[in-house]
Amino acid sequence: MERHGHRDTWVLAPMVDQSDLPFRKLVRKYGCTLCFTPMIHAKMLLTHAVYRRKFLIRDDPTDRPLIAQLCGNDAETLIAAARLIEPYCDAIDLNCGCPQMIARRGNYGAFLLESPDALVETVKQLVKGVNVPVCVKVRLVPTSDSLCETPQTDWDASIDLYRRLVREAGIAMLTVHGRTRHHKGPTIGKADWDAVRRVVEELGSEIPILSNGSIDSLEQALECRQVTGVDGIMSSEAILEYPALFAGGERISRVQLAYEYLKLAKEYPPELGGQGSGTKCMRAHIHRFLDGDFEGNNHFRQALIAAKGREDLWDIVDQVAAIQKENGHDVASEKLSWYMRYRNGHADGLSDRHKAERLGSTKSRSQDSDDEVEDVEGCAQCVFDTNNNDGDY
């Protein structure tokens, strides 16, 4: 980690509907040293006033260093969008990691990796067209073997593309998610840290490299850093459930984390902080934090779905706190709940949980949104999808 002067770089991943400003402030308090914004759709930012009003990040000196992630495939559009947000961030990241069908339809995310010449040219133009560093978040490139149910990593294609992004396009940092876009649902498996290590061996002397995937604790982050030799570790879904993941030391109560988030959400409303989902965003966070208390308690799940704002959510946390006190709850016994059930592939009961986790994702769409805006906002559902891949983009 000392190769580029960035020791203990712990990173919050870019997650649609989840990497909002109050959540970024919360994870920074507990050890995160670098945060990404949620994915911002470049075309929507330029062409739709409602989307721009909700998702254009604001200047906040306490929310730095900050990398803003864009998705798209057209260099001119990406440059124009980047110029709107570059005064308020430290770098621009291009999303080459989203594996969802919305990304296939929009020709962005991980699907860009399979058109390497076009991608390198797009990134090269983006680097030249903006005034801040440009980085790229990638997955491993899959083989093109259509007979294989889950295509494996094409190592030669992967490293050749990464070399070109560094040496031809001129990117300043690379984040490698150690899975292909095909690794999801029951086949998600463990992230390939050996592949990440090989990327570091090849390119680590030229730019900082981050590793993403299979990080559920500080201990695992330290292990990944040891195995791969990367400059930083990025967490996505596990840190959603436990925002103090990188803090170390004694366990922080999940109720305390829920209260702290809601206090921050009052001071920095998510819909005014470069994250446009407002109450839906807050509901999703509270669901993640308190999943261990909600399990088997349909009353809380229904109350969460019905919550209209921060005050309703605060009442739910109060109820959970009261029950914990009555039962003599031991904070030290708290473990990851939602994340581990999902990672372990438990299918029983997922349908009801899935419904709760999507929490009004269709109800909250703007009435004046056209189909394209709805498709973009639909990508917010990716983080709640039981077929999701580490939830980040």
Confidence grade of residue 84 (pLDDT, cut at 50, 70, 90): very high
Same structural domain for residues 104 and 212?
Answer: yes
Secondary structure of the chain as H, E, C letters = CHHHCCCCEEEECCCCCCCCHHHHHHHHHCCCCEEEEEEEEHHHHHHCHHHHHHHCCCCCCCCCCEEEEEECCCHHHHHHHHHHHHHHCCEEEEEECCCCHHHHHHCCHHHHHHCHHHHHHHHHHHHHHCCCCEEEEEECCECCCCCCCCCCECHHHHHHHHHHHHHHHCCCEEEEECCCCCCCHHHCCCCCHHHHHHHHHHHCCCCCEEEECCCCCHHHHHHHHHHHCCCEEEECHHHHHCCCCCCCCCCCCHHHHHHHHHHHHHHCCHHHCCCCCCHHHHHHHHHHHCHHHHCCCHHHHHHHHHCCCHHHHHHHHHHHHHHHHHCCCCHHHCCCCHHHHHHCCCCCCHHHHHHHHHCCCCCCCCCCCCHHHHHHHHHHHHHHCCCCCCCCC
- What global pTM score does this model have? 0.86
Instruction: Measure the CA–CA gap between 179 and 358, rounded to whole angstroms.
Output: 24
Please count the structural domains in the chain: 2
Instruction: Measure the CA–CA gap between 243 and 236, rounded to whole angstroms.
Output: 10
Confidence grade of residue 189 (pLDDT, cut at 50, 70, 90): confident
List the binding residues for FMN.
Answer: 14-16, 69, 137, 177
Residue 200 has pLDDT above 70, yes or no: yes
Q: What is the phi/psi pair of residue 11, to 5°?
A: -125, 135
89 belongs to a structural domain: yes
163 belongs to a structural domain: yes
For 96, how many CA atoms within 13 A lie in the half-sphere containing its CB?
Answer: 31
- The β-bridge relationship of strands 91-96 and 134-139 is parallel
2 belongs to a structural domain: no
List the binding residues.
Answer: 14-16, 69, 137, 177
Phi/psi-derived region of residue 211, left when phi > 0, alpha when psi is between -120 and 50, beta in every other case: beta
391 belongs to a structural domain: no
Same structural domain for residues 292 and 260?
Answer: yes
Confidence grade of residue 30 (pLDDT, cut at 50, 70, 90): very high
Task: Kindly state the percentage of the chain with pLDDT values over 90.
Answer: 63
Same structural domain for residues 233 and 261?
Answer: no
Same structural domain for residues 263 and 296?
Answer: yes
Same structural domain for residues 191 and 268?
Answer: no
Same structural domain for residues 270 and 217?
Answer: no
Give me 249's structure tokens: 């030391």
Confidence grade of residue 8 (pLDDT, cut at 50, 70, 90): confident
Residue 380 has pLDDT above 70, yes or no: no
Same structural domain for residues 312 and 363?
Answer: yes
For 101, how many CA atoms within 13 A lie in the half-sphere containing its CB?
Answer: 4
pLDDT at 307: 95
Last residue of a domain, one of 206, 241, 276: 241
- Which residue among 32, 89, 98, 382 is the active-site one? 98
Same structural domain for residues 262 and 237?
Answer: no
Same structural domain for residues 259 and 368?
Answer: yes
393 belongs to a structural domain: no
Last residue of a domain, one of 177, 206, 241: 241
Confidence grade of residue 356 (pLDDT, cut at 50, 70, 90): very low
Last residue of a domain, one of 213, 241, 269: 241
Tens-place pLDDT, residues 204-225: 999 999 999 989 999 999 999 9
Range scoring the smallest mean pLDDT among 136-140, 250-254, 276-280: 276-280
Active-site residue, 98 included: yes
Same structural domain for residues 101 and 69?
Answer: yes
CATH of the domain at 147: 3.20.20.70
Instruction: Measure the CA–CA gap between 385 and 178, rounded to whole angstroms.
Output: 20
177 belongs to a structural domain: yes
196 belongs to a structural domain: yes
Mean pLDDT of 89-98: 94
pLDDT at 374: 30
Structural domain span for residue 300: 254-384
For 305, how many CA atoms within 13 A lie in the half-sphere containing its CB?
Answer: 17
Same structural domain for residues 46 and 158?
Answer: yes
337 belongs to a structural domain: yes
Same structural domain for residues 11 and 106?
Answer: yes
pLDDT at 218: 96
